[in-house]
Structure 1
Amino acid sequence: MKIWMLGTVLGAVSLALCPAPAQAQFGGLGKLAQKAGIRMPELRRAPITTSLEDAQWEAPDRDGFVPAEPKRALTELRRTPAGGFVLQPGFYEFHDQSYCLQAGTHGPGGGDGYLFAPPEGSARDAVITIVRNSVAHPQIDQHEIQTLLWAILARARFEDLATEHQAVAAQLLSPRQIASLNRNALDLLTRGPIADNLPRELRQVMQAEANLRSMLASPGTSFAELERVAVLAGMAPVGEGSLDVPTGRWSLHPDGYYVRYLPQGYTNTVVQIWVPADGEAVGKEYDPALHIAVPGNTARQRLIQSGRAYRAR
């Protein structure tokens, strides 16, 4: 297919999806499309667009810094209705359940550091609601929550989900939010001459999403089968637009506290928070559902944090 024809077809698909600009994990889907010779601002409005470009609060001047205060459990602090914590001066740690927000990429590893960035994208409201409400539903297994998040990222239509996934969604989302979980025209971009002209990284992510949509509609699909599609095995390459972020780098949150993320795997992250005694963060809320740990290596997964404590299986 000639490039001008490809651009025309993709332009029509883009208009059908959404014209709003967005950046994605690999330095922006629009940038990757341009490398394929596609003259268009973007391919889609992603459910979660948070990327390394949104991580604007890193604090390299604090590299190697360890607070003088004794480390305390974050769970000693008062909880909020949203599952967060009311901050007080001191140095705190919390080993939480974290969740993958980028199917078709590699999990944590290789000494890559992570930075704070807020959730952004068309599914921001639904993703935050799931993570917040999960705190009040400890009976829902972490795998079931991750599966629902993958369904949203893959744009799976709620009516197409297997019954067990619909049941979880009904406990964590409002009817309005459930009604918004509809599939769009992305299947057009996962096969044929259009897909053949897309960069490998983009095609890899979009194919993973298409596979997840199909698997989530099949009753009895195991979590291990979904995980094999969503979480890539082997050595992670250095993704486009990556930055050299050392392990344990602090971010200075806009509310005035310092936070850093030490993933032990995509399913669980050790979060450390330092609240200066004379700072403006005292009395503010740390809401884990508003924290996405973004890796310096863009080929690795973004990890949203939660207020649920991690317990090894």
Structure 2
Amino acid sequence: MKIRMILGTALAAALALGATPAAAQFGGLGGLAKKAGIGLPSLQKAPITTSLPDAKWGDPSKDGFTPREPKRNLATLQRTPNGGFLLQPGYYEFHDQSYCLKAGTHGPGGGDGYLFGPTKGPAEDAVITILRNSVNRPEISQQKIQTLLWAIIARAKFEDLSTEHKAVAAALLTPRQLASLNRNALDMLTSGPIADNLPSGVRQVLQAEADLRRMLASPGTSFAELERVAVLSGMAPMGPGSRDVPSGRWSAHPDGYWVRYLPRGYSNTVVNIWVPQDSAGVGREYDPATHIAVPGNTNSQRLAQSGRAYGGH
């Protein structure tokens, strides 16, 4: 019974990585799920679940649109306690530090389009807290923050992290959030009959997560070594359920402004925001920590945004 419970939990987390409905993407895995004692509706518990179906605010009518207002630096606006920005009418740009939230996938490539998606999933509170608190901790490098985010999405156990990584986590998370990081690893899913029946894209992500867990627990592992596992090189093949999203497509944010993402790589993104006069977005907060740039290609990385400027921009 204990083994069945572990397999059920692990399989649920694994299948949540797909961008299309479970029954459509995983086909015969329904039988495996049934044997494990779980149903397809419960297969939705990856640490961060934001995916293409959540990015429902893309606005094709604005393709090729450039606001008439002169472009201003978003950093000229009043900052909020969350590290966000209090929006005023106008056209703004901010070159931010962004972060990979899907290990074992490809970074941004030429022509890739990205849409606004909200940060969702069991680990959303921890991820948002890290990104918000990082704004006021400039002494913590972007690489260390990215490593902590990889630890979370790979389901690494806090107690297994290096002393340095534990210190970063303690600086950016609450004790309650730290306690939630101590959970069982899922290495059983990278080999054996369950792994053999997973779609190749899902199996690839699971293997990357397992490798990250192992490397994060190994003293002396460099950031470059982690990056090679988490960020695949080359052009990403189109994944299942992908959409044709042109680069620079605007999303009509539900708070009443428009936003678009122009990644320069997974680690930095140029964000454009347009707030029309008398729109509902005037006076609202743009909180980057609640934004994930979701690619139209499901084989590419989701990019968490932050309120930290990239390279002094």
Partner residue in 2 for 1:112 = 112
Partner residue in 2 for 1:26 = 19
Assess, with a 3 A threshold, how the Cα gap between structure 1 residues 146 and 185 changes in structure 2: closer, same or farther: closer
Q: Which amino acid aligns with 2:149?
A: L
Partner residue in 2 for 1:265 = 265
In structure 1, C-alpha distance between the alignment counterparts of 2:257 and 2:240, rounded to whole Å: 30
Q: Which amino acid aligns with 2:19?
A: F
Partner residue in 2 for 1:303 = 303
Q: Which amino acid aligns with 1:201?
A: G
In structure 2, C-alpha distance between the alignment counterparts of 1:10 and 1:297, rounded to whole Å: 35
Partner residue in 1 for 2:152 = 152
**1:29 deviation in Å?**
5.6
In structure 1, C-alpha distance between the alignment counterparts of 2:183 and 2:134, rounded to whole Å: 24
Partner residue in 2 for 1:231 = 231
Alignment of 1:107-186 (within 5 A): 107-184=107-184, 186=186
Note the alpha carbon deviations across 1:119-166, whole angstroms, 9 max, x for none: 110100000000000000000000000000000000000000011100
For the Cα contact (< 8 Å) 1:117–1:292, is it kept in 2? yes
Q: Which amino acid aligns with 1:189?
A: L
For the Cα contact (< 8 Å) 1:14–1:44, is it kept in 2? no
For the Cα contact (< 8 Å) 1:255–1:284, is it kept in 2? yes
In structure 1, C-alpha distance between the alignment counterparts of 2:196 and 2:134, rounded to whole Å: 40
Unmatched tracts of structure 1, length 5 or more: 1-7
**1:192 deviation in Å?**
1.5
**1:38 deviation in Å?**
3.6
In structure 1, C-alpha distance between the alignment counterparts of 2:178 and 2:120, rounded to whole Å: 19
Partner residue in 2 for 1:5 = none
In structure 2, C-alpha distance between the alignment counterparts of 1:306 and 1:31, rounded to whole Å: 34
Assess, with a 3 A threshold, how the Cα gap between structure 1 residues 91 and 231 changes in structure 2: closer, same or farther: same
Note the alpha carbon deviations across 1:16-62, whole angstroms, 9 max, x for none: 45979985353256644335464541556100000000001111111
Assess, with a 3 A threshold, how the Cα gap between structure 1 residues 228 and 242 changes in structure 2: closer, same or farther: same
Unmatched tracts of structure 2, length 5 or more: 34-38
In structure 2, C-alpha distance between the alignment counterparts of 1:165 and 1:218, rounded to whole Å: 11
Partner residue in 1 for 2:291 = 291
Assess, with a 3 A threshold, how the Cα gap between structure 1 residues 23 and 194 changes in structure 2: closer, same or farther: closer
**1:13 deviation in Å?**
3.7
Assess, with a 3 A threshold, how the Cα gap between structure 1 residues 9 and 231 changes in structure 2: closer, same or farther: farther
Moved more, 195-204 or 255-264: 195-204
For the Cα contact (< 8 Å) 2:14–2:206, is it kept in 1? no
In structure 2, C-alpha distance between the alignment counterparts of 1:21 and 1:218, rounded to whole Å: 24
Partner residue in 1 for 2:280 = 280
Assess, with a 3 A threshold, how the Cα gap between structure 1 residues 108 and 141 changes in structure 2: closer, same or farther: same
Does residue 53 in structure 1 map to residue 53 in structure 2? yes
Moved more, 88-97 or 189-198: 189-198
For the Cα contact (< 8 Å) 2:13–2:43, is it kept in 1? no
TM-score, reference length from structure 2: 0.92
Assess, with a 3 A threshold, how the Cα gap between structure 1 residues 16 and 293 changes in structure 2: closer, same or farther: closer
TM-score, reference length from structure 1: 0.92
**1:219 deviation in Å?**
1.2
Assess, with a 3 A threshold, how the Cα gap between structure 1 residues 272 and 189 changes in structure 2: closer, same or farther: same
Is the partner of 2:264 in helix, strand or coil?
A: strand
Is the partner of 1:47 in helix, strand or coil?
A: coil
Partner residue in 2 for 1:83 = 83
**1:112 deviation in Å?**
1.2
Moved more, 177-186 or 89-98: 177-186
Q: What's the % identity of the aligned pairs?
A: 68
* Structure 1 moving runs of 4+ over 3 Å: 8-26, 28-33, 35-40
In structure 2, C-alpha distance between the alignment counterparts of 1:168 and 1:246, rounded to whole Å: 37
Q: Which amino acid aligns with 2:87?
A: L
Assess, with a 3 A threshold, how the Cα gap between structure 1 residues 201 and 18 changes in structure 2: closer, same or farther: closer
For the Cα contact (< 8 Å) 2:14–2:202, is it kept in 1? no
Assess, with a 3 A threshold, how the Cα gap between structure 1 residues 223 and 158 changes in structure 2: closer, same or farther: same
Q: Which amino acid aligns with 1:245?
A: V
Q: Which amino acid aligns with 1:160?
A: D
Does residue 194 in structure 1 map to residue 226 in structure 2? no
Q: Which amino acid aligns with 1:34?
A: G
